[in-house]
A and B are shown apart, each in its own frame.
Chain A
Amino acid sequence: MNATQPRLRALACSGFVALLLLALLSGQWWLGDLPGRMQFDARLAPPGVDHWLGTDALGRELWARTLAGLGLSFQVGFLAALLGSAIALGLALLATLSPRLDALVRLLIDTLLSVPHLILLLLIAFALGGGLQAVVIAVATTHWPGLARVLRAELFQLRTAPYIDISRALGKSRGFILLHHFLPHALPHCLVGALLLFPHAILHEAALTFLGVGLSPSQPAIGILLADAMRYLSGGYWWLGVFPGLGLLLMVLSIERIAHGLRRAL
């Protein structure tokens, strides 16, 4: 029982994410304009049979908005994790080429790691003026250093491996070794790293949007929904605050579990 349980759990998580992904992807067309449609006779309706998760101050369905918001989060997280791990991989490979480049990359990593993430995110989002593109770039540029550090250490360890020495002795160029030995070794680590980046990227996107410097208020992002909920909190409209956050938590948690499972398998 004990041996099968982690696998079962991983399967459940994968199933949940797959289901979520399917809902989010298909949601683009079957939700239509539902996240934005106003019902004037059902403003701030509590959760019930007619309105599954209740409605907001303009009478918009909360379940549709939450689903659309999770879709946006997923999109931003995916793009940012992809971009971030590409930067990390590129710089880690670059660092193996010469000690001087390595010093430069290490300085860059140390610089970015010594600014609090959220401050750097604010600065970058401010510089790029907000919006989807700015958020993706900001999240990607703040999240690569951790992964780059791991990949760099991994590659430096590999540099002393016998088969690299043999390859060098056979007269292979540095570029050949980079492409045919280092890159294939780093790719699986990079993939798991990207998956581990994913939840952080989603959480930071939501935080940035919540503070008002991320995605535009017209989009039904989770951060926007929760910032709206803040305004109606003292009136006791609990469903506005609880459900979008719960959706985000479930998504982040299941992706995190999958990533951990994969890392253990590696």
Chain B
Amino acid sequence: MALDVRLALATLRRLLRLGLILLCVASVSFGLMMASPVDPVDAYLGPLVAQVSPEQRELIASRWGFDDPAPVQFGRWLQQLASGNLGVSHVYNQPVGEVISQRFTRSIALLGSAWLLSLLLGFTLGVVAGAKERSALDKLISAYAYLTASTPTFWLALLGVLLFSVYLGWAPACCAGPVGVPSQDIHLATRLHHLVLPVATLTLLGTASITLHTRARMVALMRSDIARHAFAQGARRADIAWRHGVRHASLPALTLALASLGELFGGSILIEQVFAYPGLGQATVEAGLRSDVPLLLGIALFTTLFVSIGNTLADSLYHMVDPRMRRPSKPRQTTP
């Protein structure tokens, strides 16, 4: 009973903190947009900028309040935001909310499968490498992880296109479907075929940190008294790794994967750009290059929410899964 109350209070505190952080992100990104040298009237007009006279420009500025002081504009923007109106994107000529939801539904296939695959692959590699420290397999896997950790994402994607699309012709080099076919006519198999290369690249890069982290946990376990005791009883190494190691290392791996959603999203921006995949990442780059301020702000807020939810889940996961964390005698530390 008391546990439930405490859990509810903790959740409430997390939600409040999340709101505060979202507010901070909103004000920081709005401040950045205000500081940018791009003229807001130009940004509003987009490609129509040549068709407008100076008088009309003034009319636009007074209608949308571009001449007001920054705090007034910020207040108005927040008001709009609270009523769910994110503004209109001039690159896509659609409300920002619609653009984000359309694009995100396409990205989620890429992000979700890459996330799951990198978690599974990274965890397996980490367990195998950590089970026997300094073995040949361990050295190989560690070298692979260190190598991919310092590889530029977009370079790997570029090499993938070069090898598999240009030379071998196994996978398409571009887009989410064949060019010139309406999106509702594309077969599921074709869609999956177009997803293979982007997902593989994103997965390869995502595994590195999970592999290294899992390996470190496994190595620590194999040196611990638990393992020594099991060895003394005659258990085999694979047995110990399976019975103790996997349990010991799985929660941290999951937590790390949840907490690195931001990295994953950053990777997807670059990969969508290389493969011309029409997802949220590509929309972000378009918005940045063609100064679509409402879309840029909307995406910043949306991805912050996305990443924060991942972080919050990672935090609460320990409390939900590991009963030792719920022991009330544990004092709260100063560092979070």
A residues touching B (Cβ–Cβ < 8 Å)? 106-108, 110-111, 113-120, 122-129, 152-153, 156, 199, 203, 206-207, 210-213, 226, 229-230, 233-234, 236, 238, 241-242, 245, 248-249, 252-253, 256-257
Contacts and interface: CB of A to CB of B under 8 A. Distances in A.
B289 interface: yes
Contacts of B167: 236
B58 interface: no
Interface residues of B, number: 54
Contact of A116 (B155, B166, B265): B265
Contacts of B304: 114-116
Interface string B132-166: 00000000000000110111111100110110001
B150 A122 contact: no
Contact of A115 (B36, B149, B300): B300
B46 to A, nearest CB: 15
A122 B284 contact: yes
B105 to A, nearest CB: 19
Contacts of A117: 262-263, 266
Given A107-B20, A123-B300, A256-B150, A211 B288 contact: yes
A199 B149 CA distance: 10
Given A111-B21, A118-B269, A238-B162, A123 B296 contact: yes
A207 B161 CA distance: 17
B15 to A, nearest CB: 14
14 contacts: A107-B21, A115-B25, A115-B262, A115-B303, A116-B262, A123-B300, A126-B33, A127-B36, A128-B35, A199-B150, A230-B274, A233-B173, A242-B162, A249-B151
A104 to B, nearest CB: 11
Q: Is the interface of B mostly helix, strand, loop or mixed?
A: helix
B162 A122 contact: no
A245 B303 contact: no
Interface string B167-182: 1000001000000000
| Most B C-beta atoms less than 10 A away, residue of A106, A120, A229, A234 | A120
Contact of A123 (B32, B265, B336): B32
A207 B270 CA distance: 7
Contacts of B28: 111
Contacts of A213: 285, 288-289
B258 interface: no
Given A122-B288, A123-B32, A127-B35, A116 B152 contact: no
B291 interface: yes
Contacts of B308: 114
B265 to A, nearest CB: 5
Contact of B158 (A111, A156, A230): A230
Given A111-B24, A113-B311, A115-B304, 9 more contacts: A114-B311, A116-B265, A123-B32, A128-B35, A233-B173, A234-B166, A245-B155, A245-B158, A245-B159
Nearest to A109: B336
A72 B261 CA distance: 30
A124 B311 CA distance: 23
B257 to A, nearest CB: 15
Contacts of A256: 146, 149-150
B270 A118 contact: yes
Given A126-B296, A153-B335, A118 B155 contact: no
Contact of A118 (B147, B265, B296): B265
A241 B266 contact: no
Nearest to A110: B21
Contact of A126 (B151, B273, B291): B291
B152 A248 contact: yes
Nearest to B336: A106
B149 A207 contact: no
Interface string B12-54: 0000010011001100110011011110000000000000000
Contacts of B288: 122-123, 125-126, 211, 213
Contacts of B263: 116-117
Contacts of A242: 159, 162
B153 A207 contact: yes
A125 B287 CA distance: 13
B115 to A, nearest CB: 14
Given A118-B266, A123-B29, A234-B166, A211 B159 contact: no
A126 B285 CA distance: 11
Nearest to B151: A249
Given A114-B21, A212-B289, A127 B32 contact: yes
Contacts of A124: 32
A118 B268 CA distance: 10
Given A123-B29, A242-B159, A248-B155, A236 B166 contact: yes
Nearest to B33: A127
Nearest to A124: B32
A107 B158 CA distance: 38
Contacts of A207: 152-154, 266, 270
B241 interface: no
B273 A211 contact: yes
